[in-house]
Amino acid sequence: MSKLFEELVQGTEEARAYMEGERNGYKVTLPERIDVRGLRRRLRFSQNRFADTFGLSVDAVRHWESGRRNPEAAARALLLVIAHDPQVVMRALAQSQPSKAKLDRRAGRTNKSVAQKVSR
């Protein structure tokens, strides 16, 4: 049997076991390669915007696109989610950013003290 056929049989068995309650979880298999350039172009983002939007290093994006490096597993997982639904990722990442008001409160500044500093 070919390797592909064996993987399909194994995957089918795992899916059956999961559906019948014999397994509580599953193992995610990530692709070895992801077309980062194609994904970025599909979104019509520059390399800088793509990196900034998704919390990635511009250098990493450049290396991935040139083929000098391959994204690590966690980055490949993020890229797959971005490919599936970029808006969900953008909303989730935006929610994780503290607002300016929260940053001011953490720094012990109120709107009044900030306004006084600006007017000086």
Tens-digit pLDDT profile for residues 66-117 = 999 999 999 999 999 999 999 999 999 988 776 655 556 666 655 554 444 4
The mean predicted confidence, pLDDT, of the chain is: 83
| Beta carbons of 39 and 82 less than 8 angstroms apart | yes
Give the per-residue pLDDT at 47: 98
Section 27-41 average pLDDT: 92
Two structure tokens written together for 114: 């900030």
Q: Are 76 and 30 in contact (CB under 8 A)?
A: yes
CB 54 within 8 A of CB 89: yes
* Residue 108, pLDDT score: 63
Give pTM, 2 decimals: 0.62
